[in-house]
Structure 1
Amino acid sequence: MTILSEQSIRKFKQHLKNGSNDLGIKVSEHQVELMTLHAKELSAWNKKINLTAIKDPLKVAEKHFIDSIAPVSFFENEKCLMDIGSGGGFPGIPIKIMKPSLKVILIDSSRKKVNFLKHVIRTLHLENIDAIHSRVEDLHGNKVYKNKFDAVISRAFTDLSNFVELAFPFLSDKGSVYAMKGKNAEKEITSEISKNFDFKIDHYLLPFEKSDRYMIKLFAKR
């Protein structure tokens, strides 16, 4: 991915604006600038560590950034979010850019990726957000994180049953799991999930390639 030339940067920004508008999400000029800076750092670091296989700037805009901000349409009054398996910062950093008041914790088991995430956080001057190097399971007993989050989100991190098992120890009493999935999302709703959780499935299309995306929101039956 090379987002270096002025022409590439202009195209990236316009693609980001147009695609977000198509999803009904208004992105300010400042937010576009922050996401562009994130994309530049992703490009630079991707030459050293494997952060993304997507290299075309317009596909990066759609598949990483536009897809990452889509969840803000489905959020309610969450104040504290954990992003599991954040990798290159998706969806957590774009969500933070769109919702600056949200406290965000990014979790990844790769130290190199966490170093990248911390670098982006510093570079973008984001506040009330941090990246933690850890296996998710190792944090389950940590009082700093246990039952502290209104929402736990992931994007194609693992299958839904495993993600639910990993995520629920971090949720507060009224917290929800948000799983970002592709076209086979509904097949991941097992009988065990249906028995133990209430859930809602929302559908959206990536605006340019028209790929199906699903947001599965799960919460404990009350």
Structure 2
Amino acid sequence: MNYDLTILEEGCKEYGIQLNEEQKKQFVQYYELLIEWNKVMNLTGITDFEEVLLKHFVDSLSIAKGLDMTKISTCIDVGTGAGFPGIPLKIAFPHLQITLLDSLNKRLNFLNEVIEKLGLSGIQTVHGRAEDAARKAEHREKYDLSVSRAVSRLASLSEYCMPYVKAGGYFVSYKSGKAAEEVSEAKKAISVLGGRLEKEVDFKLYQTDMDRTLVMIKKVKSTPKKYPRKAGTPTKEPIL
């Protein structure tokens, strides 16, 4: 089947990303696997090809608007779900060593097939809750970058994601819509967890009027050992 990749190519160009033929092919394969697996499990409500290109692939790569991804070596995608943003980042920036973390085994089965079929290396899946994996020595403060497109509020999300980031690294939260209120609410949590709000990058998703915000938090000191708290607590009782 012939697919029109214009939206992907042009959207990437806006972020300074040039895709080669192999990378374009990988994005198409990823889309086909997503649709195939989506018939038997709930991975995405978005299935139209151009919409997936825009709202999943181009959106995942928008981090390049705020961060020089060529300077990032290791990245963990917390609560990766169907692989966003982790797999698009791996395809577009093959040098990245990526960990995809999710609590549902069946989603990881899908991601492992994507990794195998696309021939990706330097990428692993990890089964576990964010609060538990962050206590393990092989993950705690081991990453240059932690990313999440999860819908949790920023105060809770910071507790899930920041323990993975080494000092000098970044936690970047992808937010749909404007995030000023959430950022204000999360200031205490960010500070307590060893971070500093560096900037908020507000933009409209390519060729749409959809507001997006990248909240970029720099890790300036170690996260205290007591964080993250036990499973479920960061959502029920965020640091406010």
TM over 0.5: yes
Work out whether 1:180 is the aligned partner of 2:179: no
Per-residue CA deviations over 1:26-47 (Å, capped at 9, x if unaligned) read 2222211111110000010000
The code of the aligned residue for 2:212 comes to: R
Residue 134 of structure 1: aligned partner: 128
Unpaired stretches in structure 1, ≥5 consecutive residues: 1-5
The code of the aligned residue for 2:138 comes to: V
Q: Provide runs of 4+ in structure 1 moved above 4 Å.
A: none
Point out the more displaced range, 112-121 or 203-212: 203-212
3-state SS of paired residue (1:189): helix
Work out whether 1:171 is the aligned partner of 2:165: yes
How many correspondences in the alignment?
Answer: 214
Shift of 1:210: 2.6
Matches within 5 A, 1:49-198: 49-76=41-68, 77-190=71-184, 193=187, 196=191, 197-198=196-197
Per-residue CA deviations over 1:88-147 (Å, capped at 9, x if unaligned) read 111000101111111000011111101101110111111110111111111122111011
Residue 3 of structure 1: aligned partner: none
Work out whether 1:30 is the aligned partner of 2:22: yes
The code of the aligned residue for 1:209 comes to: T
The code of the aligned residue for 1:92 comes to: G
3-state SS of paired residue (1:53): coil
Unpaired stretches in structure 2, ≥5 consecutive residues: 222-240
The code of the aligned residue for 1:217 comes to: M
Shift of 1:220: 3.6
Residue 9 of structure 2: aligned partner: 17
3-state SS of paired residue (2:83): coil
Q: Is the 8 A contact 2:102 2:128 kept in 1?
A: yes
Shift of 1:23: 4.1
Shift of 1:192: 5.0
Task: State the distance in 2 between where 1:101 and 1:161 align.
Answer: 31
Shift of 1:191: 5.1
Shift of 1:66: 0.7
Shift of 1:169: 1.2
Percent identical pairs in the alignment equals 31
Residue 211 of structure 1: aligned partner: 210
Question: CA 1:192–1:72 in structure 2 vs 1: closer, same or farther (change >3 Å)?
Answer: closer
Task: State the distance in 1 between where 2:167 and 2:59 align.
Answer: 28
Give me the TM-score of the superposition, normalised by structure 2.
0.84
Task: State the distance in 2 between where 1:154 and 1:113 align.
Answer: 16
The code of the aligned residue for 2:114 comes to: V
Per-residue CA deviations over 1:176-201 (Å, capped at 9, x if unaligned) read 10000111311111355167223211
